[in-house]
Amino acid sequence: MLRPEDVLPHRPPFLFVDEVDDLIPGQRARGHWHLRGDEAFFAGHFPGRPTLPGVLMVESLAQLGGMAVLADERYRGRLPLFGGIDKARFRRQVGPGDVLELEVELGRLSARAGSGHGRASVGGALACEAELLFVIVDA
């Protein structure tokens, strides 16, 4: 099984993908982020009603998309960085104990940039989706 830390440069506490279920290099990936409840952001967002910040949902999608890019031989030794986020929509709250189901389909992919569409859900219910734009730089 492919581990995120084998492909991504991210490390805790800023690694938001726990496992990858399916990955086709340069095309798509599916994975999960298990929210245990002891993550530091829950203490302040929000006291009494811990809620996963939407920007972290988008970041988890970007990390999974980064895995699909970096697993492609053409991009070994490179680093995908955010170039933009379009059409981000948040549909439901995500909290401690939830498993965020992640999926990213890459679109246009060139030597220097690319795009993708990401969806995050819990129990099959859509929580977030966004169009992700990225640039690819030397690591």
Looking at residue 2, its pLDDT comes to: 84
User: Is the pLDDT score of 75 beyond 80?
Assistant: yes
Q: What is the mean pLDDT of the chain?
A: 97
User: Is the pLDDT score of 1 beyond 80?
Assistant: no
Total number of domains constituting the chain = 1
Q: Give the structural domain span for 48.
A: 4-138
pLDDT tens digit sequence for 84-115: 999 999 999 999 999 999 999 999 999 999 99
What's the alpha-carbon Rg for the chain, to the nearest Å? 14
**Which region holds residue 4: left if phi is over 0, alpha if psi is between -120 and 50, else beta?**
alpha
Task: State the catalytic residues.
Answer: 45
Q: Mean pLDDT over residues 73-86, rounded? A: 96
Reported pTM: 0.97
Q: Mean pLDDT over residues 61-74, rounded? A: 97
Residues sharing a CB contact under 8 Å with residue 13, sequence separation 6 or more, in sequence order: 39, 40
Q: Mean pLDDT over residues 37-49, rounded? A: 96
Q: What is the CATH number of the domain that holds 92?
A: 3.10.129.10
